Amino acid sequence: MNHKGHFMLTHAITADSGLEFAAEVRAGLTKAGQKELPSKYLYDDVGSALFEVISVLPQYGLTRADERLLRRHASEIVEQVPGPVAVAELGSGSGKKTRWLLKALCRRQHVSYFPIEISPTALAMCERELGDIDFMSIVGFEREYLDGLVEVAARRREGQNLLVLFLGSTIGNFDRPAAAKFLREVRQILQPKDSLLLGTDLEKPIPQLLAAYDDPLGVTAAFDLNLLARINRELDADFVLEQFEHLARFNPEARSVEMHLRSRRRQSVSIPRAEMTVAFSEGETIWTESSHKYCPEEMSRIASDAGFFCKAQWIDQEWPFAENLFVAE
């Protein structure tokens, strides 16, 4: 008998997302000292499509390293996770790299898979990518990470463990104190013996890092600039994209690559739906994203500080990257 999976999407029941976007744009662009915008807003339909292109660029080895580890070690990873288990993924994207883990799990049990995404486009891509896997059901949540995880945890059956996936080094978008806080919040939702598979990009030579975030084809620049185009589309702003340029730089103190949008000249931008006009001086930047880098040895301490222990670690040597299996204590 063929047991094809089924898919269901649970939409967010929240305040008007446009109002939230406007409020966060206003807060970020009026921040004293350094203007900034939340990196989550890079991933609208256009941004998500551009990121899929970035992930196959020669300079951006992170996604391929992540996929290599999951492909090579999927069986070994799931063997470390006691069953029966349900799988929740924070920021699933298209779900392409998750396929290896899910297929390995489906060889031993029927799997309930819960992708959690703020992008409905990403959830639709996830359904197309993974909907053919036998012995699996998919329920997608259009939610923020923690809100979605709370809902998934409430659906667990008695005796069922949760495996939470946070892949692709998304944890690197948090500064280190915020990352520690986020992992503690994840732990509070989980029960002892639940697991978290955490992807972390590792330290490597600075020129190699900068090339990954400022490719010669300009795809990453388009990805970054699309954030201003999104503000134009959704908040009726009048950003002239040609008057801004993408900038990637390394912050040695934070051990992170920062993405900025730099104003090419002195200018003023109106954002009617955020009820603001913002002035830029020549050379002033908007900080749009950070990607923090780790060393393998610090993961045990990070796990312990959040209430986990680091049970296993797999490292890609071609592009230094780690999958870390944390188990809730």
Task: Tell whether 102 is covered by a domain.
Answer: yes
Determine what percent of the chain is predicted with pLDDT higher than 70: 95
User: pLDDT in tens for each of the 329 residues of the chain?
Assistant: 334 444 555 544 343 567 899 999 999 999 999 999 999 999 888 998 899 899 999 999 999 999 999 999 999 999 999 879 999 999 987 788 899 999 999 998 999 999 998 878 788 888 888 988 888 989 889 888 999 999 999 999 999 999 999 999 899 999 999 999 999 999 999 999 999 999 999 999 999 999 999 999 999 999 999 999 999 999 999 999 999 999 999 999 999 999 999 999 999 999 999 999 999 999 999 999 999 999 999 999 999 999 999 999 999 999 999 999 999 99
Residue 187 and residue 318 in one domain: yes
The number of folded domains in the chain is 2
Output the pTM of the full model: 0.90
Residue 193 and residue 269 in one domain: no
Domain that holds residue 125: 59-204+294-328
Strands (E), 5-109: 7-10, 35-36, 85-90
Q: How far apart are CA 234 and CA 236, in angstroms?
A: 6
Q: How far apart are CA 167 and CA 174, in angstroms?
A: 14
Residue 51 and residue 121 in one domain: no
Output the CA torsion sign for 125, 128, 134, 135.
positive
Scanning the structure block, which residue is given the tokens 């807003």? 41
Residue 116 and residue 42 in one domain: no
Q: How far apart are CA 306 and CA 311, in angstroms?
A: 14
pLDDT in tens, 41-97: 998 889 988 998 999 999 999 999 999 999 999 999 999 998 799 999 999 877 888
- DSSP secondary-structure letter at 4? B
The contacts of residue 301 (CB under 8 Å, 6+ apart) are none
- DSSP secondary-structure letter at 157? P
Is residue 220 within 8 A of residue 254, CB to CB? The reply is: no
Task: Tell whether 310 is covered by a domain.
Answer: yes
List the CATH number of the domain containing 323.
Answer: 3.40.50.150
